[in-house]
């Protein structure tokens, strides 16, 4: 078991955003978390990353408790997040953004190799390497955000709404890359998506979230054919 | 013409000091959006420490060069310890609180440090030794630009070059810029944001202390209140240039220095502050984001 959330309850002030959720992810899986706006999907990722630590419950990563650790300690264990809205450092160049992704790494040789691999994966970033991150298009920024997270060489990649605001063709391209990263590096992926159809096609398993609770958990195939899921999230 | 040159160079000297202090304001604002009102006090403490240390070292019979180097070095270390501690006890516990709370805490810290030095030292003006020697090669220019002025300007330029290198080309500098641009994302790439904030306070304090030592040995006397005046002026400079912008703080410092210098020279020294703050009012009316600042809509 790579990641396990055990009865996680997270609050914003007095408002409870996560009401005791259980999630488990094994090494090499692609798991998706789907649900409506405000269901608590992003909060789940932020709780894992330590930005909004849970008030109750436990989070284990490789059998180690991480819910009390600071965000930088969590990154150093091998969990990287691509937050919703991409959050590119707007005035840092593409190159500097990528270097920030490798902030905690000390293996300069391997970091360099990874950088080359990124540029192979996203040739457009090579052309843009000296441009400020804020001047990139939405799709390019999403590619940069994923690349920045990969520069940390994570074991677990958390992706929050990578399809948000992007043209269908670009979305397809990005999902293709996610599959490729998972396949070639055995990087485990935890994907939060509103585009449930797309997410379930990519993922092995899925969780459905409603009002801070996990209401359903199954293989992607079963979720895709589940009547309630089809009605509520797939618009069929 | 010579009079003009004298005023120009005088403004440059003044502006250098303002710029050194303004950088601390602007860097802290850039990272935690706080006007650190206690920053001027760090400058004052830098000058006081240099004064005390140079007296002690003179007493022990150290030679001139080692007095300058040692007392300055100790003053810088001592001031940065103050800057670091002020952040830890007065601002860090208030992170996440409404923005007014740390601001009030900063004003409180400023008053506390002033009175602490007042009680620990004295309310009188104390003579400050001329640490900076008179250079022979400056003899012919002394009537327009003295040795101390030269040292002030050269030191300021050096500090700014070092700061630019630090911020532009080092890993910690990159992390500082990243933190200023997007704090949450900085955490998500593994930056220890608290550490970056501490580093920012230490760098700002070092620059303020350098300014304090330089101006004290230029003017020749200090008291517990010098930090307040210089702090307000440097804050004005930072706002003029665009708070949060590093080149803006430097530019604002020089613009303010020249404004004061020319106002003193061509109008009257009584109007020095009037012109300085009138300039601030004009900037705030016509370009509220400052000369090099970004408008707030752009920042998001």
| Per-residue pLDDT reduced to its tens digit, A34-64 | 998 899 999 999 999 999 999 999 999 999 9
Structural contact between residues A192 and A45, judged by C-beta atoms closer than 8 angstroms: yes
Of the ranges A62-71, B182-191, B281-290, which one carries the lowest mean pLDDT score? B281-290
Domain count, chain A: 1
In this complex, which of B171, B181, B190 lies closest to A75 when CB atoms are compared? Answer: B190
Report yes or no on A60 lying in a domain. Answer: yes
Report yes or no on A143 lying in a domain. Answer: no
**Bridge partners of A24?**
A4
Determine the structural domain holding residue A75 and report its residue range.
Answer: 3-87+156-234
Q: Is the pLDDT of residue B297 over 70?
A: no
Confidence of residue B272 (pLDDT cuts 50, 70, 90): confident
| Per-residue pLDDT reduced to its tens digit, B126-152 | 999 887 878 888 777 777 788 889 999
pLDDT score at B86: 97
Q: Is the pLDDT of residue B300 over 80?
A: no
Confidence of residue B298 (pLDDT cuts 50, 70, 90): very low
The domain that holds A41 is classified in CATH as 3.40.50.300
Report yes or no on A113 lying in a domain. Answer: no
pLDDT score at B123: 87
CA distance A164 to A14: 29
Q: Is B140 exposed, middle or buried, given 0-12, 13-18 or 19+ CB atoms closer than 10 A?
A: exposed
pLDDT score at A2: 96
Per-residue pLDDT of chain A (236 residues; tens, 9 = 90+): 999 999 999 999 999 999 999 999 999 999 999 998 899 999 999 999 999 999 999 999 999 999 999 999 999 999 999 999 999 999 999 999 999 999 999 998 999 999 999 999 999 999 999 999 999 999 999 999 999 999 999 999 999 999 998 999 999 999 999 999 999 999 999 999 988 999 999 999 999 999 999 999 999 999 999 988 888 887 76
Report yes or no on A128 lying in a domain. Answer: no
Contact residues, chain A, for B192 at CB < 8 Å: 70, 72
Inter-chain touch B189–A70, beta carbons under 8 Å: no
Report yes or no on A93 lying in a domain. Answer: no
Inter-chain touch A101–B189, beta carbons under 8 Å: yes
Q: Is the pLDDT of residue B292 over 70?
A: yes
Residue ranges of chain A whose CB lies within 8 Å of a chain B CB: 49-51, 70-72, 75-76, 80-81, 83, 87, 89-92, 96, 99-101, 103-104, 148, 152
Q: Is the pLDDT of residue B296 over 60?
A: no
**Best of A80, A89, A108, A153 to mutate (most B CBs within 10 Å, chain B):** A89
CA distance A42 to chain B (A): 13
Predicted structure pTM score: 0.91
CA distance A104 to chain B (A): 6
Residue with tokens 């269908």: A168
Inter-chain touch A91–B182, beta carbons under 8 Å: no
| Per-residue pLDDT reduced to its tens digit, B24-33 | 999 999 999 9
Inter-chain touch A71–B190, beta carbons under 8 Å: yes
Inter-chain touch A83–B190, beta carbons under 8 Å: no
Report yes or no: B182 at the A interface, CB cutoff 8 Å. yes
Report yes or no on A94 lying in a domain. Answer: no
Report yes or no: B190 at the A interface, CB cutoff 8 Å. yes
* Domain at B2-292: CATH architecture: Orthogonal Bundle (1.10)
CA A201 to chain CA centroid, nearest Å? 16
Inter-chain contacts counted by CB atoms under 8 A, chains A and B: 61
Other C-beta atoms lying within 10 Å of the C-beta of residue B284: 13
Q: Identify the residue with better confidence: B142 or B97.
A: B97
Whole-complex ipTM: 0.94
pLDDT score at A124: 93
CA distance B175 to chain A (A): 7
Report yes or no on A138 lying in a domain. Answer: no
Nearest Cα residue to A53 out of A24, A17, A2 = A17
Average pLDDT over residues B43-53: 95
pLDDT score at B55: 92
Report yes or no on A11 lying in a domain. Answer: yes
Nearest Cα residue to B90 out of B208, B197, B232, B244 = B197
> Sheet harboring A64-65: ordered strands across?
A15-25, A3-12, A56-61, A64-65
Please report, to the nearest 10 degrees, the dihedral formed by the alpha carbons of residues A108, A114, A115, A120 taken in order.
Answer: 160
Average pLDDT over residues B273-282: 90
pLDDT score at B69: 92
pLDDT score at B295: 66
**DSSP single-letter state for residue B91:** I
Average pLDDT over residues B236-252: 93
Inter-chain touch B181–A51, beta carbons under 8 Å: no
């Amino acid at each position: 078991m790579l990641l396990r959330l055990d009865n996680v309850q997270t609050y914003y002030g007095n408002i409870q955003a996560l009401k005791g959720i259980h999630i488990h992810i094994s090494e090499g899986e692609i798991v998706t978390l789907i649900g409506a706006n405000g269901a608590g999907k992003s909060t789940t990722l932020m709780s894992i990353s330590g930005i909004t630590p849970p008030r109750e419950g436990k989070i284990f990563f490789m059998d180690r408790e991480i819910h009390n650790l600071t965000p930088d300690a969590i990154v150093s264990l091998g969990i990287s997040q691509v937050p919703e809205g991409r959050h590119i450092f707007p005035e840092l160049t593409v190159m500097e953004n990528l270097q920030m992704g490798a902030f905690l790494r000390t293996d300069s040789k391997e970091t360099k190799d990874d950088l080359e691999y990124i540029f192979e994966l996203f040739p457009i970033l090579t052309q843009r390497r000296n441009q400020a991150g804020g001047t990139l298009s939405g799709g390019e920024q999403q590619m940069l955000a994923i690349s920045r997270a990969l520069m940390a060489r994570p074991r677990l990649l958390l992706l929050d709404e990578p399809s948000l605001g992007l043209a269908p063709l670009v979305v397809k391209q990005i999902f293709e890359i996610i599959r490729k990263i998972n396949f070639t590096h055995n990087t485990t992926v935890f994907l939060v998506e509103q585009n449930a159809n797309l997410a379930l096609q990519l993922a092995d398993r899925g969780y459905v979230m409603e009002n801070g609770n996990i209401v359903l958990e199954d293989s992607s195939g079963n979720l895709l054919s589940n009547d309630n899921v089809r009605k509520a999230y797939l618009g069929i | 013409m010579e009079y003009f040159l004298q005023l120009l160079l005088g403004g440059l000297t003044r502006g250098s000091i303002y710029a050194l202090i303004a950088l601390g304001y602007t860097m802290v604002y850039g990272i935690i959006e706080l006007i650190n009102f206690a920053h001027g006090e760090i400058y004052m403490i830098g000058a006081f420490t240099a004064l005390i240390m140079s007296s002690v070292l003179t007493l022990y019979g150290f030679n001139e060069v080692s007095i300058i180097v040692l007392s300055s070095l100790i003053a810088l270390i001592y001031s940065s310890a103050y800057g670091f501690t002020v952040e830890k006890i007065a601002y860090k516990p208030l992170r996440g609180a409404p923005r007014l709370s740390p601001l009030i805490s900063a004003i409180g810290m400023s008053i506390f440090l002033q009175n602490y030095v007042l009680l620990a030292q004295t309310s009188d003006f104390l003579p400050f030794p001329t640490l900076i020697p008179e250079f022979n090669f400056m003899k012919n220019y002394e009537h327009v630009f003295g040795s101390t002025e030269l040292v002030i300007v050269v030191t300021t330029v050096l500090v700014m070059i070092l700061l630019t290198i630090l911020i532009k080309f080092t890993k910690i500098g990159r992390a500082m810029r990243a933190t200023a641009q997007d704090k949450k994302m900085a955490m998500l790439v593994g930056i220890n944001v608290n550490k970056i904030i501490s580093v920012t306070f230490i760098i700002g304090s070092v620059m303020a202390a350098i300014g304090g030592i330089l101006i004290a040995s230029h003017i020749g006397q200090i008291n517990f209140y010098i930090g307040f005046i210089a702090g307000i002026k440097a804050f004005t400079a930072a706002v003029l240039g665009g708070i949060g912008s590093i080149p803006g703080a430097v530019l604002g410092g020089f613009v303010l220095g020249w404004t004061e210098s020319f106002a003193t020279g061509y109008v009257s020294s009584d109007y020095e502050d009037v012109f300085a703050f009138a300039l601030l009012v004009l900037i705030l009316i016509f370009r509220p984001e400052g000369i090099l600042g970004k408008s707030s809509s752009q920042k998001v």
